Amino acid sequence: MSGCEDCSGCDLLHLPVDTKAEYVVALAGNANVGKSATFNQLTGVDQDIGNWPGKTVERAEALLQHRGRRIRVIDLPGIYSINALSTEEQVSREFIAHDHPDVVVNVLDSSALERNLFFTLQLTELESPLVIALNQADLAAKKGIILDAGKLSAILGVPVIPTVAIQGKGIAELSDAIVRATCSRPRPKTIRYGKEVEDRIARILALLPEGSGGYPSRWTAIKLLEGDPDTVWEVRQHSPGVAAAALESGRELEKIHGEPAATVMSAERYHAAEELAAAVMEIRSPGDNEITLTEKVDRIALHPVLGYLLLAATLGGLLVWTFVIGAWISGVLMEFLSGIAPVEPLITGSLPDIIFNGAWTGFVAALTLIVPYVIPFYLVLALIEDSGFLTRFSLMLDKGMHRMGLHGKAIIPLVLGFGCTVPACLSCRIIESPKQKLIAAFLVTLIPCSARTIVILGVVAVFVNIWWALFLYLLVFVLIVVLGRLAFRLLPGESVGMIMEMPDYHVPHVKGVLGQTWQRTRSLIGIVLPAYIIGSIVITGAYAAGLLEPINAALYPVTVILLGLPAMTGVVFIFGIIRKEMTILALAAILGTTVFSDVLTPVQIIVFGLVTLLYAPCISTILALAKEFGWKAALSITALETSLAIALGALLFHLIGPFL
């Protein structure tokens, strides 16, 4: 596929969006240079693994969507040469030369540059559009190797990007370079060899018809000079005189150097690679290299053990806030507001009383969510994000997210879901793929938010025991993993890789953090506050008018027969649609007590907790889903989760009923 027209230097900010075209990028390089890590970072999920047609060599490919470009990334076998002496070399050579990928990304090991450049020089001979990824830059730095990527780029005439693929560093810059290359099609400069070799290459080029054998002319001339059997056979079919002259030139080289022409060419490439490496490389004592703050912190944040401990401590801190501090503040705030006016969802009286009490109940529900949970959560999130840690955490969880068909960025809405599902659903917009975005939103609505947590801790943990509360949480997390993987397989659409910027660490800016916290909170208030107030008025009024009683009768087969709960819990679950912890208020008002163990069995309390965890999201979440994905998706998710809650609740009731 040709590059785009009128690229204007491929300024990414003004790059024309092309969602229909699909570009092909091949990753090529030696074995053990981090090529697979680069491939995984670029593509992330939905990788197709199979064999090349007619070959036993494994082929991996996946889709990257970046800057409005759809890019099919092909991971070529790790090889050291493309002389077609092995099946892997043959596969790589044929794909680059005959399938003509839009860009070839040559992944190099920065700590062994000279050896890797031998392969790079062969790629330049093929004249494919080329981008160089100087990978394992951190390992080179530890060895005291300093590489001048700009100088190497100037010599080769192609973009050169330093990367540390295993840590995700440089991947965003590499992706930008790939996108630019799909437009500019950067052809590598010709690297000249020794005079005896160049004279004979020129002699063969003068005789060689254009496009012989489907390869670039210079490549074909070099292969003829080396006596490559396949190339000689191809050229001999239509130009036997050229093939004979090339073989004679090869014999001349052999007489001059006392080695076969193929050995002479290898020596020339090694010499050129040595000179090229010497020109762009500086060796220092490892102790002389200044270690930046980002590098020091990344030794912990991206460490395979310490990094996960830091991540666990951070997420644990957020959960402690949700479970302990936030719950305590919410209780204090609820007590204070109850002193102003009773917070009671079930009332009788005049219409003004119903409206006032319904509105007040909804207002208190919104306030006791936003103040103790959402604002502190957003504040901590902004601090983590602005400092540079959030990207590292996303990278650490990237592999686990892949198992659910998601990308590491999905951790942001999933973590947000522990505070409130509404902003978590809205934050799914950071995910580019519609399929992955919908999966993330579906899983987010299953995360035990602060309101659901209040129900589990305030009902199951208090009136049964903490172990059953933890069991319900564990069950939900297992469901999230299983359902995520199932949705990934069943939902139509593509999952694409997404690139995460890897910024340097810095002290968060107070003004920026507070501004970001307010912007997120303000957008949430616009959905939550009206939904809670209006929903509370409607449901309170309907109950006071006796309109909800038929619901108990209609839900009797579900609540009583399937779930083994009292008949009046049908109305209780309706109140839970406003906000989940309102099920506690409604349950207490209907039962006439807050000591639920006096009127409910342990089995009923556990089943009630499980159903509350899983059934229909709250009304503000449904509105957020409808805003982001449309009413069809919002109602489908609601119906699916309600059905799941009933099925699992019924199963749990019949499994544990005989034992508790």
CB 471 within 8 A of CB 352: no
Is 649 annotated as ligand-binding?
no
Is 504 annotated as ligand-binding?
no
Is 31 annotated as ligand-binding?
yes
Is 455 annotated as ligand-binding?
no
Is 58 annotated as ligand-binding?
yes
Is 116 annotated as ligand-binding?
no
Nearest to 413 by CA among 389, 437, 382, 386: 437
CA 176 to chain centre: 17
Q: How far apart are CA 448 and CA 641, in angstroms?
A: 13
Is 83 annotated as ligand-binding?
no
Is 157 annotated as ligand-binding?
no
Q: How far apart are CA 511 and CA 490, in angstroms?
A: 44
CB 223 within 8 A of CB 242: no
CB 39 within 8 A of CB 148: no
Is 44 annotated as ligand-binding?
yes
Is 223 annotated as ligand-binding?
no
Is 40 annotated as ligand-binding?
yes
**Residue 54 carries which DSSP code?**
T
Q: What is the dihedral of CA 421, 424, 426, 427, to 10 degrees?
A: 180
Query: In Å, how far are 33, 209, 509, 548 from 346, measured between CA atoms?
Result: 67, 91, 46, 11
Q: How far apart are CA 71 and CA 69, in angstroms?
A: 6
Query: What residues contact 646, with CB distance under 8 A and at least 6 apart?
Result: 558, 562, 563, 611, 615
Query: What residues contact 195, with CB distance under 8 A and at least 6 apart?
Result: none
Is 106 annotated as ligand-binding?
no
Is 51 annotated as ligand-binding?
no
Q: What is the dihedral of CA 413, 418, 422, 424, to 10 degrees?
A: 0
Q: How far apart are CA 408 and CA 498, in angstroms?
A: 9
Query: What residues contact 190, with CB distance under 8 A and at least 6 apart?
Result: 124, 218
Q: How far apart are CA 136 and CA 116, in angstroms?
A: 12
Rounded (to 5) percent helix, strand, coil in the chain: 65, 10, 25
Q: Secondary structure of 514-535 in the HEC alphabet? A: HHHHHHHHHHHHHHHHHHHHHH
Is 35 annotated as ligand-binding?
yes
CB 435 within 8 A of CB 495: yes
Q: How far apart are CA 13 and CA 26, in angstroms?
A: 25
Nearest to 455 by CA among 312, 653, 624, 645: 645
Is 76 annotated as ligand-binding?
yes
Is 33 annotated as ligand-binding?
yes
- Sort residue 68 into left (φ over 0), alpha (ψ -120 to 50) or beta: left
CB 177 within 8 A of CB 159: yes
Q: Which amino acid makes up residue 582?
A: M
Q: How far apart are CA 41 and CA 30, in angstroms?
A: 18
Is 77 annotated as ligand-binding?
yes
Q: How far apart are CA 481 and CA 487, in angstroms?
A: 10
Residue entry with tokens 């009127």: 599
Query: What residues contact 187, with CB distance under 8 A and at least 6 apart?
Result: 127, 129, 130, 157, 158
Is 588 annotated as ligand-binding?
no
Is 34 annotated as ligand-binding?
yes
Is 460 annotated as ligand-binding?
no
Which positions make up the binding site for GTP?
29-36, 54-58, 75-78, 135-138
Q: Name the binding residues for Mg(2+).
A: 40, 43-44
Q: Which residues are annotated as a binding site?
A: 29-36, 40, 43-44, 54-58, 75-78, 135-138
